[in-house]
């Protein structure tokens, strides 16, 4: 049984390839960091907490007290299986995800949610996920950088305790990296675009006395709708940019970040206690 065979049998649309890509984005960074220190493989702390946080809104549906519908619960189990498989592939195991994935395989079978081909490989899938994974010995590959966002899109980003909003100025390309600027205001619920558009931009201070205009050139923000249900398109074709007149402008086009670095920036908007 191969990891890709499990992912192929999930019939989960963009969920499985996106989850696998995101695990590999973090695994690549961890792999090079470890190698720089004379170590091999990837580190749990570099990868697992970030991917579990990113997909938590779907994973939460698998909890007994979640109140989720059957469809939401089965989708959550698919996410758990995809993440557990992708992590195992890069040499990592999270016991909680492995147990959720195992329970999910049985639940999907009991509800006849997937094909007979999935049912017939149940034991093989569980055996693979519970086996000790070999450490990663070379950089994992990822798919081509691609985005389906467009200039003028306004995106609401769902975090643990708040929502942050970003404006896509343009997409360089073709269709590769959205140039995103975050708004300063945070929201307790999914906002209406009128609550954010035209308001003040957020800027990073970099430890200085005045914050700077901060545009982020993002890799890894591929799909809208977002398979992890964290990024939500709330407006398109918006020509009014965030108001950054109060920020120092160094004339920098933007800072290249991956999806997880963008989320760290978004959490900084409201601060640790708020978001």
- Please write the tens of the pLDDT for every residue from 258-272: 999 999 999 999 776
Give mean pLDDT, residues 239-243.
Answer: 97
Which residues are bridge partners to 257 per DSSP?
218
Res. 206 pLDDT band, cuts 50 70 90: confident
CA distances (Å), 10 to each of 15, 24, 82, 209, in order? 9, 19, 8, 51
Res. 41 pLDDT band, cuts 50 70 90: confident
Across the chain, mean pLDDT equals 93
CB 218 within 8 A of CB 259: yes
| pLDDT recorded at residue 22 | 97
| pLDDT recorded at residue 274 | 65
Q: Which residue has the tokens 């999270």?
A: 94
CB 134 within 8 A of CB 160: no
Res. 238 pLDDT band, cuts 50 70 90: very high
For residue 90, is pLDDT > 90?
yes
| pLDDT recorded at residue 259 | 96
Percent of the chain with pLDDT over 90: 82
| pLDDT recorded at residue 272 | 60
| pLDDT recorded at residue 64 | 87
Give mean pLDDT, residues 163-179.
Answer: 96
Q: What is the pLDDT of residues 109-160, one digit of tens each?
A: 999 999 998 999 999 999 999 999 998 888 888 889 999 999 999 999 999 9
Give mean pLDDT, residues 177-203.
Answer: 97
Res. 191 pLDDT band, cuts 50 70 90: very high
Cα-flanking dihedrals φ and ψ of residue 217, to 5°?
-100, 105
Q: What is the dihedral of CA 70, 76, 82, 86, to 10 degrees?
A: -160
What is the C-alpha to C-alpha distance for residues 191 and 65, in angstroms, rounded to an integer?
27
């Amino acid at each position: 049984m191969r990891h890709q065979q499990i992912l192929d049998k999930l019939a989960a649309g963009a969920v499985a390839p996106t989850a696998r890509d995101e695990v590999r984005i973090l695994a690549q960074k961890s792999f090079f960091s470890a190698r720089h220190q004379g170590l091999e493989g990837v580190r749990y702390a570099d990868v697992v907490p970030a991917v579990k946080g990113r997909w938590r809104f779907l994973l939460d549906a698998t909890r007994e007290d979640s109140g989720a519908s059957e469809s939401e619960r089965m989708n959550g189990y698919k996410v758990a299986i995809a993440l557990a498989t992708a992590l195992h592939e890069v040499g990592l195991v999270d016991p909680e995800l492995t147990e959720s994935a195992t329970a999910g395989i049985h639940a999907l079978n009991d509800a006849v949610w997937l094909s007979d081909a999935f049912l017939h490989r149940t034991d093989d899938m569980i055996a693979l996920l519970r086996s000790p994974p070999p450490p990663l010995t070379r950089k994992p590959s990822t798919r081509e950088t691609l985005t389906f966002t467009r200039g003028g899109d306004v995106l609401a980003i769902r975090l643990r305790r708040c929502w942050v909003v970003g404006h896509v100025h343009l997409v360089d390309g073709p269709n590769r990296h959205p140039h995103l600027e975050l708004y300063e205001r945070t929201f307790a619920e999914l906002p209406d675009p009128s609550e954010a558009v035209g308001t003040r931009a957020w800027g990073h201070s970099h430890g200085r006395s005045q914050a700077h205009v901060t545009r982020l050139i993002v890799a890894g923000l591929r799909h809208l709708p977002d398979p992890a249900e964290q990024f939500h398109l709330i407006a398109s074709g918006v020509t009014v940019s965030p108001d950054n007149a109060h920020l120092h402008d160094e004339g920098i086009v933007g800072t290249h970040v991956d999806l997880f670095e963008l989320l760290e920036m978004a959490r900084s908007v409201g601060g640790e206690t708020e978001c």
